[in-house]
Amino acid sequence: MFRKGKTIFSMVLWIAGLALAVCGCSNGDNGGQDGGDGADGGDDQPKWVQVGGQVSPPGAESEDPTMLVLGTTAAVGYRHQSFRTYLNVWDGSSWGEHEPDPSDNNTEASIYSSPDFCSRDNDVFMAYSHTGDSTADDDTFFDRVFVYRWTEGGGWQVQNGGAEVSVIWSDPPGGANAWEPAVACPASGDPLVAWVEADVVPDPDTEDGAWVAEVSASSSDRSSILSRNDTDGDYYTSVRTVGLGSDASGSAVVAQWEQDETEQWLTNLYVTRYSSGNFTNLGGSISDDWDSNNIPVPSLIVEGSVIYIAYSEANSDDNTRHVYVKKYDGNWSTIGGGPVSAYSDSDHYNSNNPDILMAEDRLWIAWQESEQYGGPFIFVAYWDEDGNEWIIDGDKLNTDLQNGAGDPSLAYSPDDGYLYVAFEENSDGYPHIFVKRKKIGQ
């Protein structure tokens, strides 16, 4: 499997930035930089402002940001220089130095997303795939998923007693690479982790499936393999990537893109609940994608008994992507009846990498989108229940509209009412991490 898709995305940002510089395209203001409380825009509406400067170190690419809130303190986890895992915590005036890399420069570069982070109270949990040693003749030969916990003052501490949470190699039957980790922090209890790994025992098959584990400091409880397209067909039905959420009871909700058994270029999106050792299918396939090398991780949240999912899909004609949000309340339905887009059908070119959350009883989404002659740009919108429509909040959020940007991630601080968005933007030939915020709920 080709594992360097994010490097391709970095090149896309570079090319997009060059195209914008050539055409001189611009729309809206570039946004300001602010280390304080921010400012209001016109008509007394809170305005998005930049929090500090560039989060990530200069001179090399930084990708896959996860926006976090620790109490009222902002933090960002991300991948740097392809194989490093970094965490930066806002100190009130700057992003300071990144925390030491717990993977020791061995974070497996992913086609979709790795590492992944979640936070609860003042703690951060991180899951990543540790690059295997090609010279080893034991379990360390394979890429393996590990979980770490970060605390202020204590730094990074490995969980599960130091062992991998993925399936441990044995001889026989053997081992497999574990990739694409996703982590979720329930309101109480231990964090949940999902990942992609083959089952070396042919039951139901030997292709890549999804796995789930609940992980404590000293141990973990792992599921069996989850494969929804596990019938015989003409093509392999490997799971490509997974998204993860949790409900109020601490049960996991897994979203997985899995290859179709009869159509070579088709990948199906499924959502499944995992509780008390059992998987429950939440309907059948909810989306079809015809470009599996460019699928973003689905974004999941659970509010009460309702599940929300944001994803993008490529059509079968020209692989053009659109972003969608669906909800499950016993049945699946599309919020807004169609794609979430900042542009009309004639102006829209591509949308990708959506992220959703609930803040002040309102559903928010961030995504990247390109028009026919510019972008990608970062947009944030909220769902207006009364008007039955998505309302774009703040226009384009790139720090400089001459630069391409992508991979937005949202977080909300209920104690002070700030909504944050982190994203990567090509500022000097490489993508770097930036953060903006605005105050809501006033």
Residue ranges of E strands in 162-249: 178-184, 192-198, 208-215, 220-222, 239-246
Whether omega for the bond prior to residue 173 falls within 30 degrees of 0, making it cis, is: yes
Mean pLDDT, range 201-214, rounded to an integer: 85
**What CATH number should be reported for the domain holding residue 176?**
2.120.10.10
Contact criterion met (CB below 8 Å) for 193 and 213: yes
Please indicate, yes or no, if residue 50 is contained in any of the structural domains: yes
Mean pLDDT score of the chain: 89
Distance CA 306, CA 325 (A): 13
Mean pLDDT, range 264-281, rounded to an integer: 96
Q: Are residues 43 and 120 in the same domain?
A: no
Mean pLDDT, range 101-111, rounded to an integer: 92
Residue count (the chain): 442
Of the candidates 385, 341, 380, the residue with the CA atom closest to the CA atom of residue 361 = 385
Please indicate, yes or no, if residue 387 is contained in any of the structural domains: yes
More confident position, 52 or 206 = 52
Mean pLDDT, range 147-163, rounded to an integer: 97
pLDDT > 60? residue 133: yes
Q: Are residues 331 and 358 in the same domain?
A: no
Q: Range of 361's domain?
A: 1-75+349-442
Single residue among 339, 369, 394 that ends a domain in this structure: 339
Q: Are residues 334 and 427 in the same domain?
A: no
383 vs 91, 149, 246, 323, CA distance in Å?
32, 34, 22, 14
pLDDT > 70? residue 44: no
What number of helices (H) and strands (E) belong to the chain?
A: 1, 29
Q: Are residues 295 and 365 in the same domain?
A: no
Residues contacting residue 203 through CB under 8 Å, at least 6 positions apart:
none
Helix, strand, coil fractions of the chain, as percent rounded to 5: 5, 45, 45
Q: Are residues 327 and 365 in the same domain?
A: no
Please indicate, yes or no, if residue 94 is contained in any of the structural domains: no
Please indicate, yes or no, if residue 84 is contained in any of the structural domains: no
Please indicate, yes or no, if residue 86 is contained in any of the structural domains: no
Give the model's pLDDT for residue 40.
37
CB atoms within 10 A of CB 94: 13
Q: Are residues 298 and 355 in the same domain?
A: no
Give the model's pLDDT for residue 37.
41
Give the model's pLDDT for residue 15.
41
Whether omega for the bond prior to residue 202 falls within 30 degrees of 0, making it cis, is: no
> Which letter, b or e, does each residue of 420-439 get, where b requires 16 or more Cβ atoms within 10 Å of its Cβ?
bbbbbbbbeebbbbbbbbbb
Contact criterion met (CB below 8 Å) for 198 and 209: yes
pTM reported for the whole predicted model: 0.90
CB atoms within 10 A of CB 3: 16
Mean pLDDT, range 345-372, rounded to an integer: 97
Of the candidates 399, 363, 358, the residue with the CA atom closest to the CA atom of residue 381 = 363
Distance CA 264, CA 262 (A): 6
Distance CA 154, CA 77 (A): 17
Of the candidates 420, 442, 423, 441, the residue with the CA atom closest to the CA atom of residue 432 = 423
Count of structural domains, the chain: 2
Whether omega for the bond prior to residue 172 falls within 30 degrees of 0, making it cis, is: yes
Q: Which helix (H) or strand (E) holds 269?
A: strand 267-275
Here the tokens at position 202 are 């042919």
pLDDT > 90? residue 208: yes
Q: Are residues 382 and 323 in the same domain?
A: no
CA geometry: angle 168, 169, 172, nearest 5 deg:
135
pLDDT > 90? residue 309: yes
Single residue among 339, 368, 392 that ends a domain in this structure: 339
The values of phi and psi at residue 271, to 5°, are -125, 135
Of the candidates 262, 158, 272, 270, the residue with the CA atom closest to the CA atom of residue 224 = 272
Give the model's pLDDT for residue 225.
94
Please indicate, yes or no, if residue 95 is contained in any of the structural domains: no
Q: Are residues 376 and 272 in the same domain?
A: no
Give the model's pLDDT for residue 441.
63
Q: Are residues 387 and 319 in the same domain?
A: no
Q: Are residues 146 and 10 in the same domain?
A: no
Mean pLDDT, range 32-60, rounded to an integer: 70
Distance CA 157, CA 148 (A): 5
Please indicate, yes or no, if residue 90 is contained in any of the structural domains: no
Q: Are residues 159 and 258 in the same domain?
A: yes
Contact criterion met (CB below 8 Å) for 414 and 69: no
Please indicate, yes or no, if residue 91 is contained in any of the structural domains: no
Give the model's pLDDT for residue 173.
87
Distance CA 268, CA 249 (A): 28
Mean pLDDT, range 365-382, rounded to an integer: 97
Whether omega for the bond prior to residue 204 falls within 30 degrees of 0, making it cis, is: yes
Contact criterion met (CB below 8 Å) for 421 and 67: yes
Contact criterion met (CB below 8 Å) for 104 and 83: no
Query: Using 50, 70 and 90 to split pLDDT, how confident is the model at 1?
Result: very low
Here the tokens at position 138 are 């034991």
More confident position, 293 or 418 = 418
pLDDT > 70? residue 22: no
Single residue among 339, 371, 393 that ends a domain in this structure: 339
Per cent of the chain over pLDDT 70 is: 89
> Which letter, b or e, does each residue of 200-230 get, where b requires 16 or more Cβ atoms within 10 Å of its Cβ?
eeeebbebbbbbbbbbeeeebebbebbbbbb
Q: Which helix (H) or strand (E) holds 124?
A: strand 123-130
pLDDT > 50? residue 12: no
| DSSP-derived 3-state class of residue 336 | coil
The values of phi and psi at residue 350, to 5°, are -160, 145
Contact criterion met (CB below 8 Å) for 351 and 343: no
Mean pLDDT, range 125-151, rounded to an integer: 97
- Residue-wise DSSP of 342-378: SS-TTTEEEEEEEEEEEETTEEEEEEEEEETTEEEEE
Tell me which residue has tokens 């944050």: 420
Q: Are residues 230 and 364 in the same domain?
A: no
